[in-house]
Amino acid sequence: MRILIMANNVQELGGAQRVVHLLAQGLGSRGHDVVIIGVVPHEARHSYESGPTYRTVTLLDDPYPKDASERLAHEGVATVRLQRLLDDGPPGIVITAQLWAMEHLARCRLDGWPVIGQYHSSFEAARAGRDLTRAKAVYRDVDAFALLCDEDASSFRAEGFNNVVTMPNPLAYWPVEASDSNDPVVTYLGRFSAEKGPRFLLEAWRLLAPDHPQWRLDMVGSGPLEQELRGGLGAGLPRVTFRPSTTDPMGVLMGTGILALPSLTEGFPLALAEAMACGVACVASDCSSGVRALVDDGRTGLIARRGDAAHLAEQLARLMESPDLRKRLGLAARESVEGLQSATVIDRWEALFVDVLR
């Protein structure tokens, strides 16, 4: 079947893009004719390995200009090119991974093409900005509107979306065995930016470090706050290592004792899901419906109050002091995210296609 997956762009190294490529990979390898369509090129031009299983297309040759009248011309070109792709064969299914991409699709004739819309942030985030209003304009009438977790789905339903389904993001990998690492390492894996909350973790570390001399803190990542963290807050703390972001998160995770996710805002954090897949015990801040969907506090991980360093330290200490608790939470976590294995999620997508086509 022809499957078109649309995103704002297909080259950025972002969460939505990673998922789009994973999905295309999965569906392509099952024999579907998959094309990923980006609306605009992205300067980063991260090359995902597209391989033989799917193609990528970018509608426009350059990004949208600032000038309103020129934007109109760009919009026209994008619409015509997209329409050509749609008309280029029998109808299949269109998946729009992002709102802006959907707004482009909405300008086309869709004879016979069912549409599945996706939204990768939480309902809270949508309501805080303009996304909720935009989503109401384009996503209420599509065949299915896929959210990342049940909580978001029911929040959107309460806003009059009668087509919501839950579709989690797939994991990029699934380690054959759970990590049996007992290394006394707390790991931070993510961008060094304010909304990811690395400060709170360092703050918590300041409280923890004196009482746990054998433990180390591994800060893996890069980002705008890096210099500030290394030089300021992080410099005075014992046993903190800064490492550049990695292309092998699994390798990092398999050698860690605890993963800390101190974020202030999140959607459906992949790093957390991946750590859980590795059987690593996690402490995550209560910052989104996605986190709440992943971590069942006390069973598959621990939840710390958002932006509360003292509570984060308290929860970390509980794990640091009990190898048994780490083991128990880690194994339960791995079991709980089994459903996020790529094959399982692709199965769910195919089941959704069946529902949509009925």
Which is nearer to another protein, 183 or 350 (by Cβ)?
Answer: 350
Residue 137 in contact with another protein, rule: CB under 8 A: no
Q: Provide, rounded to whole angstroms, the least separation between the CB of residue 285 and another protein.
A: 20
Q: Provide, rounded to whole angstroms, the least separation between the CB of residue 307 and another protein.
A: 15
DSSP at 297: B
Show contacts with another protein in window 57-116 (CB under 8 A): 114
Determine the interface stretch with another protein among 20-28, 95-103, 157-165, 222-230 (rule: CB under 8 A).
157-165
Which is nearer to another protein, 123 or 205 (by Cβ)?
Answer: 123
Residue 47 in contact with another protein, rule: CB under 8 A: no
User: Max alpha carbon distance in the chain (Å)?
Assistant: 66
Q: How many beta carbons lie within 10 A of that of residue 178, not counting itself? A: 17
Which is nearer to another protein, 12 or 143 (by Cβ)?
Answer: 143
Determine the interface stretch with another protein among 37-45, 130-138, 231-239, 319-327 (rule: CB under 8 A).
130-138
CA separation for the pair 73, 78 (Å, rounded): 9
For every residue of 315-356, DSSP letters joined together read: HHHHHHT-HHHHHHHHHHHHHHTGGGSHHHHHHHHHHHHHHH
The owner of tokens 């709440």 is: 292
Determine the interface stretch with another protein among 46-54, 65-73, 159-167, 339-347 (rule: CB under 8 A).
159-167
CA separation for the pair 241, 243 (Å, rounded): 6
Which is nearer to another protein, 75 or 150 (by Cβ)?
Answer: 150
Among 1, 85, 325, 331, binds another protein (CB under 8 A): 1
The owner of tokens 């959607």 is: 267
Q: Provide, rounded to whole angstroms, the least separation between the CB of residue 57 and another protein.
A: 24
Is residue 246 helix, strand or coil? coil
Give the H/E segment covering residue 166: strand 164-166
Interface pattern 161-190 for another protein (x via CB under 8 A):
-xx---------------------------
Which is nearer to another protein, 95 or 277 (by Cβ)?
Answer: 95
Residue 354 in contact with another protein, rule: CB under 8 A: yes
Residue 338 in contact with another protein, rule: CB under 8 A: no
CA torsion, ordered 132, 134, 135, 136, to nearest 10 deg: 90
Nearest to 181 by CA among 296, 330, 316: 330
Among 18, 30, 127, 292, binds another protein (CB under 8 A): 127
Cα dihedral across residues 263, 268, 270, 274: positive or negative: positive
CA separation for the pair 265, 68 (Å, rounded): 32
Q: Provide, rounded to whole angstroms, the least separation between the CB of residue 33 and another protein.
A: 13
Q: Is 168 exposed, middle or buried (0-12, 13-18, 19+ CB in 10 A)?
A: buried
Residues binding another protein (CB under 8 A): 1, 114, 127-130, 132-133, 140-141, 143, 157, 160, 162-163, 350, 353-358
